[in-house]
């Protein structure tokens, strides 16, 4: 078997609610691999731990236990214990994360936001500008919006700007959390077509989707999560056939 780009083993994450002291387990021993060029879709009911998994991989959340190993261009790196400065460097060419919501700095327009992402991935200024313009155009963000403050954009526009920043000059591993959930059919189709090109660019993807049609169309493997655990992991056809009812109910 080819060496995975990402290996997750024994991942645990709990939260203690300060008001009540109640402990919530969001990840309960998750193990998962993503191979080179694979597009692994994560499905499951609300609260199953899908976003927590992505956040622990990107280390927005620090897991309580477990290992997250990323195979970078210069060898394997253990992300859970990596010093912050080295982690910040990896969050350019090696690993990217498209969260559910756009978090652009104040007074930043779409072009600036996407251009900055391209610069972080190592593109020179002119190339970053070209890449940002091309990506925004392909995702249907028209020129009059490029300098508008991101905070005034519609929900769907914000989601496309967020996706544009994630896929512009994409990293080796891209984490996508429900990247098209707020889009109308036309823009959704554009966005899915862009996500589909990632495989041809040898980008590995770990993505959360609620829509089974998207999993059928894009994923090379599917994982079902339930109450912080991986319930099933296999080919999308097999997984969707076996878990069809449960997954369609939560879609």
Ligand X SMILES: Nc1ncnc2c1ncn2[C@@H]1O[C@H](COP(=O)(O)OP(=O)(O)OP(=O)(O)O)[C@@H](O)[C@H]1O
- Out of 7, 39, 40, 51, name the contact with ligand X by CB under 6 A: 51
- With CB under 6 A as the contact rule, which of the stretches 40-48, 74-82, 118-126, 163-171 interacts with ligand X? 40-48
Q: Cβ of residue 181: shortest distance to ligand X, in angstroms?
A: 9
- Out of 7, 52, 159, 162, name the contact with ligand X by CB under 6 A: 52
Beta bridge partners of 207: 41, 176
The verdict on 47 binding ligand X (CB under 6 A) reads yes
Q: Is 106 exposed, middle or buried (0-12, 13-18, 19+ CB in 10 A)?
A: exposed
d(CA 122, CA 114): 13
Q: Cβ of residue 175: shortest distance to ligand X, in angstroms?
A: 12
d(CA 181, CA 210): 8
Q: Cβ of residue 215: shortest distance to ligand X, in angstroms?
A: 14
Q: Cβ of residue 32: shortest distance to ligand X, in angstroms?
A: 14
**Closer residue to ligand X (CB): 49 or 171:** 49
Q: How far, CA to CA in Å, does 12 sit from each of 29, 38, 106, 190, 230?
A: 5, 24, 34, 36, 12
CB 163, CB 139: distance < 8 Å: yes
**Closer residue to ligand X (CB): 99 or 131:** 99
Instruction: Name the token pair of 168.
Output: 């512009």
Q: Cβ of residue 225: shortest distance to ligand X, in angstroms?
A: 6
End-to-end, the C-alpha distance of the chain in Å comes to 33
Could you list the residues that contact ligand X (CB under 6 A)?
Answer: 15, 24, 26, 44, 46-52
């Amino acid at each position: 078997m080819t060496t995975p780009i990402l290996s997750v083993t024994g991942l645990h994450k709990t939260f203690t609610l300060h008001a009540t002291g109640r402990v919530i387990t969001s990840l309960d021993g998750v193990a998962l691999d993503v191979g080179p060029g694979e597009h692994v879709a994560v499905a499951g009911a609300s609260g199953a731990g899908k976003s927590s998994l992505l956040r622990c991989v990107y280390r927005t959340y620090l897991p309580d236990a477990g290992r997250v190993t990323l195979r970078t261009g210069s060898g394997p790196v253990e992300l859970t214990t990596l010093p912050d400065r080295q982690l910040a460097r990896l969050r350019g060419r090696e690993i990217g994360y498209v969260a559910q919501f756009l978090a652009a700095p104040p007074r930043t327009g779409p072009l600036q936001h996407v251009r900055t992402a391209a610069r972080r991935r190592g593109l020179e200024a002119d190339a970053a500008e070209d890449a940002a313009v091309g990506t925004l155009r392909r995702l249907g963000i028209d020129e009059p919006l490029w300098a508008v403050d991101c905070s005034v954009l519609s929900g769907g526009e914000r989601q496309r700007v967020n996706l544009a920043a994630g896929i512009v000059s994409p990293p080796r591993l891209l984490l996508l959390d429900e990247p098209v959930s707020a889009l109308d059919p036309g823009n959704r189709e554009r966005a899915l077509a862009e996500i589909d090109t990632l495989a041809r660019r040898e980008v590995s993807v770990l993505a959360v989707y609620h829509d089974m049609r998207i999993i059928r169309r894009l994923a090379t493997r599917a994982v079902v999560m339930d109450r912080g655990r991986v319930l099933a992991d296999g080919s999308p056809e097999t997984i969707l056939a076996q878990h069809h009812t449960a997954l369609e109910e939560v879609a």
